[in-house]
Structure 1
Amino acid sequence: MWVIDGALNFAPYFGLPLGLLIVPVVIFRRWKLVALAAVPFMLWAVVMLSVNLLLVRGRSCSETAGLRVVTANVLVGNLQLSALADAVLAQSPDIVVFEELTLEFEDFSPVLAKAYPYRISTETPWVTLASRLPLEDMRRVPLDPPIPGREPLAARVRVGDQTVTVLGTHEIPSLSTITYREHGKQYDLLEWEILQATGPVMVIGDINATIYSPQFLNFLRRSGVRPVSAASQQPTHTPTLNLSIRIDHVLIRGLAACDEQVFDLPGSDHDGLVVGVRLK
């Protein structure tokens, strides 16, 4: 199952080879086979359209109180963390979730540390949820059995007259039967936190899945959160064969999206994602 799920992360790239199946039968005028050859392409197009209907598009943020949030996978061992911190600061986010970060902010950017005094990290340093605004009820959501650095982070922040639940996560890549199950356990924890939350919710982080992953789609269906993205789905990572995909996400419930943009993270193999959200 993990092989199929992983392959479907690249589903947008299936269109060209499926479309090419139609060319030979047209060239050789095998008209009865044209319809048969076109079926896989048409099914692909329907799936692409259906999945993209889940995306939350941006609107104006001027009407009500809002937040700017960033997810940034820094790449463990990155030697350009100071420059990366400057790139994040240039986006002026209110909340940031860093993935693969094993250092304290003070170790590479005192400016970042001062700008984001409210923060919590996984027990084994790997994910950090940081905020300019005061965070309430900061906690780690334990995995059973524990997986170092992979427990989701939870907090609440006041925005206008409402409290927004914020969840930070870095999902385990589904590269085997075991990691596929572990990936699913992280979804289960996030789903529980989302369904227990009253009011608006944001999930921020490196999900290690695109919106075409059946496992991710099932999580979206069960939890009720939706990805913020333009129809173009700007990629944030290029894992193999120069096939770029969006695996870093901001998921929302009970909030409206204002805008979203991908930006460069010096020294990382990911791009950062900044999203504006507002209260409905």
Structure 2
Amino acid sequence: MRVLTANLFSDRTDPAAFVEVLISNEVDVACVQELGASLADPIASVLPHGGLFPNEATRGLGIATRHPVEIASVPIPKRPGVSALLDPAHWPGLPRPMEVINWHVMGPHTWPYFPNPNTRRAHLRQLDEWMWQHPQMPRAVLGDYNASPIWPFYRAMRSRLEDAVLLSGDPPPRTWPALGLGGLIRIDHCFVSGLTCTRARRVELPGSDHFGLLVDLKPVE
């Protein structure tokens, strides 16, 4: 299964170019952040299932999929995630149900600055509560985490889940900034449990300040 996470830079990503990214890379599941109205319909034209929730205040989020899924909101205050439950009845080759979560984590640069480390930890506890409802569920948790591997938040995620990029054995792709510098740090991630990753790479997102992260996932046998 091929899964993409892409920050669309407050809807500045070129719609036609992003559609081509989805088609040419044969994406099965697209997790998008900073989704606005101009990109929602083009994405749905390629990946017609799932749930896309555009918002003009950089908070738009969604998961678009090739086959039907069950969509739910992950209740994280101010930064809710989106969950997609994949059922083997609709996903050929999937041996058991699997969950994909898309989450845009609050950045440490978000005002007010000083409470944010505590807020990020509180948000992570909310994610824990969601995952503990079905602890054996194979899942992938993707998105813009506003945290590179040297940050405590990344390490906290890795204490719970595995970094798919590291499982793949591919060189970890630096995903931000895409504008001008060609990527200095890795802040877009895919964390997994009950899954492994056979390939990971970055893809260009014309108009965005991020590169996308594209991963090939399969259940652990």
Partner of residue 201, structure 2 = 261
Structure 2 residues not aligned, in runs of 5+: 89-93
- The one-letter code matched in structure 2 to 1:168 is N
The counterpart of 2:96, out of the listed 162, 167, 170, is 162
2:214 pairs with 1:274: yes
2:121 maps to: 184
Q: Compared with structure 1, are the counterparts of its residues 104 and 158 closer, same or farther at alpha carbon in structure 2 (3 Å cutoff)?
A: farther
Aligned to 1:91: 25
1:119 aligns with 2:50: yes
The structure richer in helix per residue is 1
Larger radius of gyration: 1
Task: Return the alpha-carbon distance in structure 1 between the equivalents of residues 208 and 163 of structure 2.
Answer: 23
Contact 1:163 1:199 in 2 (8 A): yes
TM-score (norm 1): 0.66
Q: CA deviation at 1:68?
A: 0.6
Paired-residue identity, %: 24
Aligned residue in 2 for 1:214:
152
Hey, what's the Cα distance between the residues in 2 that align with 1:272 and 1:105? 15
CA drift at 1:132:
0.7
User: Once the two structures are superposed, what CA deviation does each residue of 1:180-203 show, in whole Å capped at 9, x if it has no partner?
Assistant: 333223322222222322320110
1:238: Cα distance to partner?
2.4
Query: What amino acid maps onto 1:203 in structure 2?
Result: V
Taking the aligned partners of 1:217 and 1:68, their CA distance within structure 2 comes to: 25
CA RMSD of aligned residues (A): 2.4
C-alpha deviation, 1:96, in angstroms: 0.6
Q: How many Å separate the matches in 2 of 1:199 and 1:210?
A: 26
Is the 2:177–2:209 contact (alpha carbons within 8 Å) kept by the matching residues of 1? yes
Task: Give the 3 Å change call, closer, same or farther, for CA 104–141 of structure 1 in structure 2.
Answer: farther
Higher RCO (CA < 8 A, seq sep 6+): 1
**If the length of structure 2 is used for normalisation, what is the TM-score?**
0.82
Following superposition, which runs of at least 4 residues in structure 1 exceed 3 angstroms of deviation? 104-107, 121-125, 239-243
Deviations 1:63-94 (A, max 9, x none): xxxx1100011111416222122123221111
